[in-house]
């Protein structure tokens, strides 16, 4: 971690906890992280639970904020089954996860689509968490840096319009939901490369942009990852469905957190 950037721990609930159980989880998360005042905490319920979770966090007077898991790049129109940025904001989201590897792999999202979504999110005042990461085949072919660089370059000009407002999440696909986690050193090398690309745009963008690591982050491996210079937080899948375990990841970030005013 670096003193300039405030740590951010985001839970990606994926297609889980979409109703009453989402409200219960949000309530438990709000209570378990309430003393972690040096860390930004985000939860990402499915669309159907956004408004209800916002209400629960409000009732708890919680500083935890909400991300949606996807959105359409257009503001409105004939796009059956899709959700726009303004709808997400109205439902209580202030962030949106974009280009998650599950969206790229299972739903055919391309670099170009992700860039359009990042642009639309920023234009509407939603903070994007733009995801990148290589597959196992790409890693085995030693193409990690090349693939991740290409994915970042697709949206870097968009993030440069508002330095520090957007976030990048590096999630190696082979580490997602597998229990396999990148070593802190391997993750740090990719994060440093990403920061280098941001630096080609401006020093400000490089210094202000938080880069999260995701992929089998748990309470017992979080601290080693978060201790790296260019790892500014975590995007947590499975472990974010358990408020106590998620709270421990937030506590690890709180222990390492420099005192900053970024929000
Ligand atoms: P896991 O933490 O379950 O590996 O998922 C990571 C992820 O995809 C977060 O977006």
Centre of ligand 1 to C-alpha 213, Å, is 10
Encode pLDDT of 96-148 as tens digits.
999 999 999 999 999 999 999 999 999 999 999 999 999 999 999 999 999 99
Centre of ligand 1 to C-alpha 133, Å, is 12
Active-site entry in 102, 109, 171, 251: 171
Q: How many CA atoms, within 13 angstroms, populate the side-chain half-sphere of residue 33?
A: 36
Encode pLDDT of 215-228 as tens digits.
999 999 999 999 99
Whether 43 maps to a domain, the answer reads yes
Whether 243 maps to a domain, the answer reads no
Centre of ligand 1 to C-alpha 214, Å, is 6
Torsion angle, alpha carbons of 228, 231, 232, 236, to 10: -120
Would residue 100 show up in a list of annotated catalytic residues for this protein? Answer: yes
Whether 242 maps to a domain, the answer reads no
State the average pLDDT over residues 42-58: 98
Nearest Cα residue to 193 out of 165, 156, 158: 156
Return mean pLDDT, the chain: 96
Whether 62 maps to a domain, the answer reads yes
Whether 249 maps to a domain, the answer reads no
Task: State the residue range of the domain holding 118.
Answer: 8-74+83-237
* Nearest ligand 1 atom to alpha carbon 239: 2
Q: Is 236 in the pocket of ligand 1 (CB under 6 A)?
A: yes
Supply the angle between the helices 111-124 and 144-159 in degrees, to the nearest 10.
30
| Alpha-carbon span 73 to 88, nearest angstrom | 12
The CATH number assigned to the domain holding 136 equals 3.20.20.70
Encode pLDDT of 241-254 as tens digits.
999 999 999 999 99
- pLDDT-based confidence at residue 261 (cuts at 50, 70, 90): low
Res 235 pLDDT > 90: yes
Res 258 pLDDT > 90: no
Whether 250 maps to a domain, the answer reads no
Whether 116 maps to a domain, the answer reads yes
Q: Is 233 in the pocket of ligand 1 (CB under 6 A)?
A: no
Torsion angle, alpha carbons of 232, 119, 117, 250, to 10: 20
Would residue 171 show up in a list of annotated catalytic residues for this protein? Answer: yes
Res 171 pLDDT > 70: yes
* DSSP output for 82-146: ---HHHHHHTT-SEEEES-HHHHHHS---HHHHHHHHHHHHHHTPEEEEEE---HHHHHTT-HHH
Whether 158 maps to a domain, the answer reads yes
State the average pLDDT over residues 3-17: 96
pLDDT number for residue 197:
98
pLDDT number for residue 104:
98
pLDDT number for residue 224:
97
Which one of 238, 246, 249 would you pick to mutate in the ligand 1 pocket, going by the greatest count of ligand atoms within 8 A of its CB?
238
Q: How many domains does the chain have?
A: 1
């Amino acid at each position: 971690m670096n003193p300039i950037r405030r740590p951010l721990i985001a839970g990606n609930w994926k297609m889980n906890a979409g109703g009453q159980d989402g409200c219960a989880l949000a309530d438990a998360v709000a209570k378990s992280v309430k003393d972690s005042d040096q860390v930004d905490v985000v939860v990402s319920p499915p669309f159907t639970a956004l408004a209800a979770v916002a209400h629960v966090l409000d009732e708890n007077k919680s500083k935890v904020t909400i991300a949606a898991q996807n959105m359409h790049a257009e503001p409105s129109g004939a796009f059956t089954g899709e959700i726009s940025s303004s709808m997400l904001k109205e439902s209580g989201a202030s962030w949106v996860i974009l280009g998650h590897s599950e969206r790229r792999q299972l739903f055919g999202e391309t670099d170009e689509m992700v860039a359009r979504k990042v642009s639309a999110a920023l234009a509407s005042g939603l903070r994007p968490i733009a995801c990148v990461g290589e597959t196992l085949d790409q890693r085995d072919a030693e193409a990690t840096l090349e693939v991740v660089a290409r994915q970042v370059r697709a949206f870097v000009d968009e993030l440069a319009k508002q330095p520090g407002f957007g976030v990048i999440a590096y999630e190696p696909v082979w580490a997602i939901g597998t229990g396999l986690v990148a070593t802190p050193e391997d993750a740090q090398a990719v994060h440093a490369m990403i920061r280098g690309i941001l630096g080609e745009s401006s020093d400000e963008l490089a210094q202000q942009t938080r880069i999260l690591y995701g992929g089998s982050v748990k309470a017992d491996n979080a601290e080693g990852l978060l201790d790296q210079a260019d790892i500014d937080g975590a995007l947590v899948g499975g472990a974010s469905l358990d408020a106590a375990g998620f709270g421990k990841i937030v506590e690890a970030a709180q222990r390492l957190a420099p005192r900053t005013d970024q929000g």
